Amino acid sequence: MNGALAEESPGASGPERCWRAWVLPMLLAVLLAAGCSGKSTATSTTSPVTTTGPPTTTTAPLTTTTATPATGATTTTGAEVWDVVGLGDSFIAGTGAGGPSRGLAGAYARLLGEQLGIETALHTYTDYETVADWVEGLASSTAMQEEIAGAEVVIVWLGYHNVLWALWGETCEPVWPEPLRTCLVEATATMPADYDALLGAIAALVSDEAVVMIGNQALGPPEIEEWGEEPFWPELKAAAYDVWAEGIAAAAAAHGAILVDSAVWLTGPEGNQLLRGEYLAPDGIHFTATGYEALAQLFLEADGLDD
């Protein structure tokens, strides 16, 4: 699927590349609407996994979340319920598609239920902070720990928010090479160790039979549109992304998690290609339900559960 969804960015020059005029206001407006500004507290959502009608979700504080089994539309046995826990940002929240049951983890849970003929219960925790914040959040949340401990599958999708504000001017002027390079180095410095701590904590909670998967996110359409055709793109990408991609790979290998190589699918081998429009929500950043399901398919192919 790597080459099927990515296409070359058309590139731009001169006034068309002026991020101050339109990219930054658009991006910040979208992220603010998605709840991505300032300090936030991870919220848990337990939702049925359905294939028709609007998603049904309930949001509760971490300390009061309980698991509610949900039946997929194609469930055939009803003899077993598998719990799928999703941890991450707006892709887990299903921003752009209508809620968690249509986001990455929700789409995966539905596909898994159809594949194995089982019931699946979806539990999602969403936050828009750094990987280090997630480590602290997991350590302080008994509810999250308990749901992870009882899960058959755990999906982790996070990291982009470590670099988001450095890239778009909240903490640093986005001018290459400086000060942007230094800001990105500072933003990503602890990420490898943070991923190791997070996946280590998850590994200590889950059963021996559970599947833990983590995706490498890649940079997003705003970065590709702004810098993807620049000669310094490989250097910028190395500072903004490659270091934490390597951290994800090392942590996954150390703690028995499956690394889903979603970055190449998302942005091509050079990290500067854009997905086709049918996969992107109108904001140009998040996914449609079709996009999340296509991404979830990568996780389904990687989980090894149909062997």
User: Is position 4 within any domain?
Assistant: no
Are the C-beta atoms of 74 and 113 separated by less than 8 Å? yes
Specify which residues 8 forms β-bridges with: 273
58: left (phi over 0), alpha (psi -120 to 50) or beta: beta
Q: Find how far residue 197's CA is from the centre of its chain.
A: 18
User: Is position 6 within any domain?
Assistant: no
Q: Which residue has the higher pLDDT, 33 or 84?
A: 84
CATH number at residue 295: 3.40.50.1110
User: Is position 289 within any domain?
Assistant: yes
pLDDT, residue 277, reads 86
Number of domains into which the chain is organized: 1
Are the C-beta atoms of 70 and 49 separated by less than 8 Å? yes
pLDDT, residue 171, reads 80
147 vs 303: CA distance, rounded Å: 19
Q: Is the dihedral of CA 252, 257, 258, 260 positive or negative?
A: negative
Range of the domain at 53: 14-302
* Overall average pLDDT of the 9-32 stretch: 41
Q: What is the DSSP letter of 187?
A: H
Lowest mean pLDDT among 73-82, 101-110, 238-247, 272-281: 73-82
Phi, psi of 282 (to 5 degrees): -55, -25
User: Is position 1 within any domain?
Assistant: no
User: Is position 8 within any domain?
Assistant: no
pLDDT tens per residue across span 26-74: 454 445 445 443 334 466 655 544 322 222 232 222 322 333 333 333 3
Strands annotated E in the chain: 6-8, 43-47, 58-60, 81-88, 119-126, 153-157, 211-215, 258-260, 273-275
Q: Work out the percent of the chain whose per-residue pLDDT is above 90.
A: 70
278 vs 281: CA distance, rounded Å: 8
Q: How confident is the model at residue 214 (pLDDT cuts 50, 70, 90)?
A: very high
Lowest mean pLDDT among 67-71, 90-94, 247-251: 67-71
Q: How confident is the model at residue 105 (pLDDT cuts 50, 70, 90)?
A: very high
Number of helical (H) and strand (E) elements in the chain, helices listed first: 13, 9
Q: Which residue has the higher pLDDT, 60 or 222?
A: 222
User: Is position 210 within any domain?
Assistant: yes
User: Is position 9 within any domain?
Assistant: no
Structure tokens at 50: 């359905």
pLDDT tens per residue across span 116-139: 999 999 999 999 999 999 999 999
Residue type, 59: T
Q: Model's pTM, two decimal places?
A: 0.81
Are the C-beta atoms of 297 and 1 separated by less than 8 Å? yes
pLDDT, residue 169, reads 81
Average pLDDT over all residues of the chain = 81
Q: How confident is the model at residue 213 (pLDDT cuts 50, 70, 90)?
A: very high
- The pLDDT of residue 112 is above 80: yes
pLDDT tens per residue across span 147-197: 999 999 999 999 999 999 899 987 889 999 999 999 999 999 999 999 999
